Structure 1
Amino acid sequence: MITLRTSPTSPYGRKARIAVAVLGIEDQVQLDWADTRATSGSLYDQNPLAKVPTVLLENGDVVYDSRVVLELLDQMAGGGVIIPKGDTRIAVLTKQAMADGIVDAAIQAQIETRNHPEEHWNNVWIERQLGKVNRCLKAFNDNPLPTPEQSNGIPDCAQIALACALGYLDLRANGDWRKDNPDLVKWHTAFIEQVPAYDATLAPEMLEKS
């Protein structure tokens, strides 16, 4: 059995948790919460980046970065399940990277606003990051991904990543993405209905709001 180290609010870790569920490999994965705010400890010993998700293999090896972790989980399920083989593989991986980029940029903007008083904000930096978020959202809204039901009933890694990115914006950015992206809202609603693991992995703060 492998050990998946993550945190309840990490959108990257959520990708892995949803992947475990949709791949049906829960019996092969032990979940272990990591303190991502600590400045030392076991996560630093296991992963020099001290980020989640981090996976501990039975042989002592360590795997990290959510995209690599999803590759590992897909292989554990036989391969080609959430990460397609063949002609569509690169396109799906690219969409996954774009969805992850939404989270990357949103976090960078929030770091600036949370860690400094408003008079010291670097507004040029914030606008640059929010521009990335909004361009990616528009791209997904204008050219929606298929829903899981439209892709053999199992979400691929791009769909999982996008759902987690939108969930993160709901958690940390008040869901403001919704007002300008109606088709993306429809897609997100369909994903939630078709993938029970989405609600099962909601952050505690979102459960309190529901």
Structure 2
Amino acid sequence: MTTPEHEPPAPQPSASEFQDRVHRSSAGIAGGVLLLAIILWLGVDALVTGQGRTPWLALAGMILAVPLVVAFTVRPAVYANADRLRVRNPFRVIVLPWGQVSGLRSGYSNEVFDKAGTKYQLWALPVSLRARKRAARRQARATVATARATGGTSAGGAGDTAADRDPIRTDTDQFMNDLREVQEAREHAESAQGEVTVRWAYEIVGPALAGAVVLAVLIAVG
């Protein structure tokens, strides 16, 4: 009587198989650059041509507005590699080793959860319901076209079309799907363990608070 041979365990993906990835909102950056240009244009004009307290109010307003615009438009980014996920939000930087990530959720916003249950929003991955509807329409058209071309069947079985196996997604939804794949593959890796760290972006908070204080003082003294 022969005993069945045990199959060797599947090899775990190595860190070198995952390239570093970064995602930033191109629409947010474009809007932020436009807003900064308008703020600087109006502010410099007030500094040069303003009378009385106007130049000081304009200067304080720019010190307050510029960091806030940068924080919410240009700054947000999501960095991912084989060991950790780094989330750069408007006022905080969160570093989550994959071993501490319990899940990623896409709803009306994209979010990541750590093992303690804390939720962090991914500002650099905004959700566009309009873009999702467009992707759904393209997916439906691709499925119908593939089904017609193959007679409704494929190598994967009846009704299993290429469009079904490779669905069309928005850029942010595709990036979230990629992050889930990395998390599932690397959550038990030794180099992907550690503690979640959160750091406040004092380079944004400091100037904004200073501008708010100066602006409040100028308004208060009349």
- Output the TM-score relative to the length of structure 2: 0.25
More helix per residue: 1
User: Highest CA radius of gyration, 1 or 2?
Assistant: 2
More strand per residue: 2
